[in-house]
């Protein structure tokens, strides 16, 4: 059983919110009473998800956003505040997988695309979120990094570099903004049952099964398990947790 939180009167922003970990986290925030902004480059999917939450009695809006575009990120935060008056929590989840290739065979286009979303996009989101939270006097941010940010991962060097960067941004900004009552942390998901996990093995079912088999717990994690960690990190229960990259991987990186 997951713990329950009362986020009534709070506002949560989730990027990459149309599916997977983003959608599960947006739903969890809504069910805990928060008003939720579902931001995604996939506008129709985000709108459908927001409509479903509204139909269940929650407060939610969908905002189109390509997080690699700073103007769109600025507009996303502005829309959040215009609609709900504040921004208390942010889950910077939007991310993409790199094309699989050894470093010397990779393209500059692939590098720029992955870094643009996974690292520069998180940096841009944090800039605008932190400015708003600083005005308000506090808040909590959780960035979606990866176990790939804690080790090497052959074949996807842009992705791995981007996630190492997210952890660095998390730790540094946590130290910079804790004095403003803003806590910044990250989650490092392992093998989670989402499309991006299958992208790692180029949708090869046998390779995916082999990857899951390496998890000591014996299964892939669920998006809801990541959502549970994000809500805890945003809650008063985690009030002493600052600048941490919280690994959730079924034991994958223990050995």
Which residues lie below 8 Å from residue 211, measured CB to CB, with a gap of 6+? 191, 197, 200, 201
Task: Annotate 210-247 with DSSP letters as a single string.
Answer: HHHHTSTTSS-B-HHHHHHHHHHHHSGGGTT--S-EEE
For 155, the 3-state DSSP assignment is: coil
> What is the predicted pLDDT for the residue at 204?
86
> What is the predicted pLDDT for the residue at 2?
65
Q: Which pLDDT tens digits describe the chain residue by residue (255 residues)?
A: 567 899 999 999 999 999 999 999 999 999 999 999 999 999 999 999 999 999 999 999 999 999 999 999 999 999 999 999 999 999 999 999 999 999 999 999 999 999 999 999 999 999 999 999 999 999 999 999 999 999 999 999 999 999 999 999 999 999 999 999 999 999 999 999 988 788 777 788 898 899 999 999 999 999 999 999 999 999 999 999 999 999 999 999 997
Contact call for residues 143 and 230 (beta carbons, < 8 A): no
Q: What is the H or E stretch that residue 149 is in?
A: none
Instruction: Give the separation between CA 111 and CA 47, rounded to whole angstroms.
Output: 30
Tokens of 245: 């990259």
> What is the predicted pLDDT for the residue at 92?
99
Domain-wise residue ranges, the chain: 11-244
63: burial class by Cβ within 10 Å (0-12, 13-18, 19+)? buried
The CATH code of domain 11-244 reads 3.40.50.720
Residue numbers annotated as active site:
159
């Amino acid at each position: 059983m997951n713990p329950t939180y009362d986020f009534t009167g709070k506002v949560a922003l989730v990027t990459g919110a149309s599916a997977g970990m983003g959608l599960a986290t947006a739903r969890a925030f809504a069910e805990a009473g928060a008003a939720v902004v579902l931001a995604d480059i996939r506008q129709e999917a985000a709108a459908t998800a927001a409509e479903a939450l509204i139909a269940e009695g929650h407060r939610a809006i969908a905002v189109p956003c390509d997080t690699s575009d700073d103007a769109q990120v600025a507009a996303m935060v502005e829309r959040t505040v215009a609609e709900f008056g504040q921004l208390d929590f942010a889950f910077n989840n939007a991310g993409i997988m790199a094309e699989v290739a050894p470093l010397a065979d990779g393209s500059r286009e692939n590098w720029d695309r992955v870094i643009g979303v996974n690292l520069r996009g998180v940096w841009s989101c944090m800039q605008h979120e932190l400015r708003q939270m600083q005005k308000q006097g506090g808040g909590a941010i959780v960035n979606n990094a990866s176990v790939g940010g804690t080790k090497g991962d052959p074949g996807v060097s842009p992705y791995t570099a981007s996630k190492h960067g997210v952890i660095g941004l998390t730790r540094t900004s946590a130290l910079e903004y804790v004095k403003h009552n803003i806590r910044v942390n990250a989650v490092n998901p392992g093998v989670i049952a989402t499309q991006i996990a299958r992208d790692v093995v180029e949708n090869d079912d046998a390779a995916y099964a082999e990857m899951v088999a390496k998890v000591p717990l014996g299964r892939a994690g669920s998006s809801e398990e990541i959502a549970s960690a994000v809500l805890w990190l945003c809650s008063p229960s985690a009030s002493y947790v600052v600048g941490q990259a919280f690994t959730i991987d079924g034991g994958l990186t223990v050995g």
